[in-house]
């Protein structure tokens, strides 16, 4: 597989981790080690894996982390009580409630209960509003923030570019559109947000200078949907059957990588593209939260 047009998410994430590590050391020198707590309800296998990966990343960077695990039948009231306790703990600067939550719990209520100052996931309504208003003092959701960093650090120009985003979810699609349409450096794009009710999605895609796929449909984007030379960012994580795989299935993105790579100008692999960036941005947000909580003005890169 040729690699000259790959956007290496792992390498860029390592750059950001090194920047974050320096800020962690500076915070510790001020007597303020950053603290991050993960809250997991139940034993969803994917959630266990994701939280475990985040815990290991915290260890590598020197961020103090802890995980609170609640039983599957936890009530929304009990979870809200725990969040209130975590909000009041001055040693914890970031709170991440791992989704999905059991059906008896309303995720929107939980995300809104996390202090906006500790909302390192960027899901609190106040932080969502700040993003839409172009206020840099909020926290941006980690995956779209990571995509933005991939674009910036790969030297991709966004000003005046046609950007097409596939998927209108609250975690990626909507915040991604809000980031790239701002009147600011590394933005100023013309953004089209496509979704399940959009007509002729292929026609929209073929117009894109930058195509971001975040719709959750395995290998949806084919070569005939991509303008030659376009930048293609694959956010999708989908499990499909594969009798030759060890567990009978494998993970693929929303882009048919083998089909699209030969005509793309730049493209993210999957895995190794967007995934590592999500954790990198989470830890960067945590360091920012710790600095703000203690009135420190560390020079942390902003997207």
Kindly indicate the confidence band of residue 296, based on its pLDDT and cuts at 50, 70 and 90.
Answer: confident
Element (H, E) at 40: strand 35-41
**Contacts with 197 (C-beta within 8 Å, 6 or more apart), sequence order:** none
- Helix, strand, coil fractions of the chain, as percent rounded to 5: 40, 15, 45
Q: What is the pLDDT of residues 166-186, one digit of tens each?
A: 999 999 999 999 999 999 999
pLDDT at 42 over 80: yes
Cβ count within 10 A of residue 156: 17
Q: Among this protein's residues, is 64 annotated catalytic? A: no
Q: What is the pLDDT of residues 43-96, one digit of tens each?
A: 998 899 999 999 999 999 999 999 999 999 999 999 999 999 999 999 999 999
Q: Among this protein's residues, is 98 annotated catalytic? A: yes
Kindly indicate the confidence band of residue 299, based on its pLDDT and cuts at 50, 70 and 90.
Answer: low
Kindly indicate the confidence band of residue 300, based on its pLDDT and cuts at 50, 70 and 90.
Answer: very low
Q: What is the pLDDT of residues 98-150, one digit of tens each?
A: 999 999 999 999 999 999 999 999 999 999 999 999 999 999 999 999 999 99
Q: Among this protein's residues, is 77 annotated catalytic? A: no
Q: What is the DSSP letter of 122?
A: S
Predicted pLDDT at 303:
37
pLDDT at 255 over 90: yes
Cβ count within 10 A of residue 108: 10
- The catalytically annotated residue of 64, 118, 119, 121 is 121
Predicted pLDDT at 46:
87
What is the strand order of the sheet 35-41 is part of?
A: 64-70, 35-41, 94-97
Specify the residue for token string 């709170």.
Answer: 95
- The catalytically annotated residue of 98, 130, 182, 261 is 98
Domains of the chain (ranges, CATH numbers): 34-116 (3.40.50.10860), 142-274 (3.40.50.720)
Average pLDDT, the chain: 95
Predicted pLDDT at 81:
98
């Amino acid at each position: 597989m040729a690699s000259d047009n790959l956007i290496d998410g792992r390498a860029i994430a390592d750059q950001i981790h090194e920047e974050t590590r320096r800020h962690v050391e500076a915070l510790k020198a001020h007597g303020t080690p950053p603290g991050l707590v993960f809250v997991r309800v139940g034993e969803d296998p994917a959630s266990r894996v994701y939280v475990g990966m985040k815990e290991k990343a915290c260890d590598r960077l020197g961020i103090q982390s802890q995980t609170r695990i609640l039983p599957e039948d936890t009530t929304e009231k009990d979870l809200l009580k725990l969040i209130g306790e975590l909000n009041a703990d001055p040693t914890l600067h970031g709170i991440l409630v791992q989704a999905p939550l059991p059906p008896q719990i309303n995720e929107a209520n939980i995300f809104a209960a996390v202090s906006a100052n500790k909302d390192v996931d960027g899901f609190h309504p106040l932080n969502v509003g700040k993003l839409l208003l172009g206020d840099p003092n909020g926290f941006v959701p980690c995956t779209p923030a990571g995509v933005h960093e991939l674009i910036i650090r790969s030297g991709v120009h966004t000003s005046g570019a046609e950007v097409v985003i596939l998927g209108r979810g609250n975690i990626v699609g909507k915040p991604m559109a809000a980031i790239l349409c701002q009147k600011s450096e590394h933005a100023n794009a013309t953004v089209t947000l496509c979704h399940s009710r959009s007509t002729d999605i292929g026609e929209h895609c073929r117009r894109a200078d930058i195509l971001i796929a975040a719709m959750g449909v395995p290998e949806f984007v084919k070569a005939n949907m991509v303008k030659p030379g376009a930048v293609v960012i694959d956010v999708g994580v989908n499990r499909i059957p594969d009798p030759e795989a060890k567990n009978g299935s494998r993970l693929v993105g929303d882009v048919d990588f083998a089909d699209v790579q030969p005509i793309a100008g730049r493209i993210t692999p999957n895995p190794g593209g967007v995934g590592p960036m999500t954790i990198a941005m989470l830890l960067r947000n945590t360091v920012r939260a710790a600095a703000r909580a203690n009135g420190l003005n560390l020079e942390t890169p902003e997207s």
